[in-house]
Amino acid sequence: MAAKFLSVDKEARFPNLDRSDYQVTSDETADYNCIAHAAGKDDNWWWPDDPPAYWPDGHDRTDTIEAFVKAYATVGFSLIEDDNYELEVGIEKIAIYVDGDGIPTHAARQLEDGSWTSKLGEWEDIQHKTLNAVEDKGDLGLGYGKVAVILRKQRTP
């Protein structure tokens, strides 16, 4: 089966994407976003300051790294102090991206083979080899900014 790729106009939004380093793994859908996808959820849209989007009950509804870390803690993830994004057997990781102002913009989840999965807004999910694939390139305002923190939890079989 041939690999699927984003359309050229979508691909242009992510200047670090290289067709040899990613492939599309789902159809487009607005049912969930990258934050939910990183948590392993595909049944709702997660965002703190966008009701009626889902956000864990009792948690701060602000778009801060701290609020996102606490939200992911509700599904078992905890902050890694050394930002180790390398593959660890039996460990699942999430990378949270931020823009130049430190506001979360995206999250990606590490797969068992060490690659990463991202939901691109209302577009498709992609599997990419590096975290850099969806980062901004310089100050172009493209991509999702830079990885700010890495979270981890034991992978469930």
Structure-token pair, residue 122 = 């209302």
What are the mean pLDDT values of the chain's consecutive 10-residue runs (157 residues total)? 87 92 96 97 93 91 96 97 89 96 97 97 96 86 92 92
pTM flag (> 0.85): yes
Q: For residue 51, what pLDDT is reported?
A: 83
Which of helix, strand or coil describes residue 67? helix
Q: For residue 17, what pLDDT is reported?
A: 92
How far apart CA 84 and CA 149 sit, in angstroms, is 9
Which H or E run includes 68?
A: helix 65-73
- Lay out the sheet containing 22-24: strands in order across: 22-24, 125-128, 116-119, 104-110, 91-98, 146-154, 78-79
Nearest Cα to Cα of residue 16 among 95, 112, 129: 129
Structure-token pair, residue 138 = 């310089």
Q: For residue 1, what pLDDT is reported?
A: 61
Q: For residue 35, what pLDDT is reported?
A: 98
